[in-house]
Structure 1
């Protein structure tokens, strides 16, 4: 498009009768041609924000099997379409170029990280968990009173876990005998 002085916002404002410059007179051709990412999405999926325990509703817009936008769900009885700044930015959790998508492991004393497959990493964690529990188990105190606990295992959960995940983690660690269980959202 060839630029013309007649397209200056002030002249458009005078020509269109938009006296205060709050309407179409102040929009450039580029702005008028801009479409929201939600308009080109293949579908919208209802979801829940992962950041805290409130459970705000989200609409996740997907195009070509890739998340393109996340907005508040107006049908949610909890948030009625509103999201906090963290919830509004949750699309970055999925699409951030710095997001880790593979398990990384640095052996004790090593200077470099190595990639592990998920099954190997899960087995390593489970073996260490069971061994620590076995090694630090306290069945009774010095007076013979039952303890049935371990002080060798603790849990500090993150604020991006939802209520259900935190509930299951609490049940798992309590069943394993751990008593040092905390969550970042409560600290």
Structure 2
């Protein structure tokens, strides 16, 4: 009897504590992105949309985990293997970075900068869990602005003690002329 009660309370607590961060852009406003895409964008975002009130604007290089890199513009394209190719001017010259990801049927390209999810036991993580996810979704809107949808989730628990946080922000970047 006590096991059932504990199990029931655990599931109810999980459902009440879990939060969604559903930022969505209507499909009519998106033009989508595919493997033939090439474009150059101003590195600093001119607009953002956030549910968690992100503290500041960001740049493309910081979002793709290239911290302390400075460039006025960033070129984005895809290789024949559907890898994201990011090219920018650095103090040492032109630099190119590649990222593994996949195209979605909904018109965006998704990459995971970090994706760690440890749960003991699997699926029902009552004893121990550790989550560290940093995901980017890249698309274009009808105005030909690059949209980078940044999502993070970090947290964990040991038995009933849990902590963590998550957030989601969409950054908009204008194309260079």
TM class by shorter-chain length? under 0.3
Q: Which has the higher helix share?
A: 1
Larger radius of gyration between Structure 1 and Structure 2: 1
- Structure having the higher strand fraction is 2
Higher relative contact order, structure no. (Cα contacts within 8 Å, ≥ 6 residues apart):
2
TM-score of the two chains, using structure 2 as the length reference? 0.24
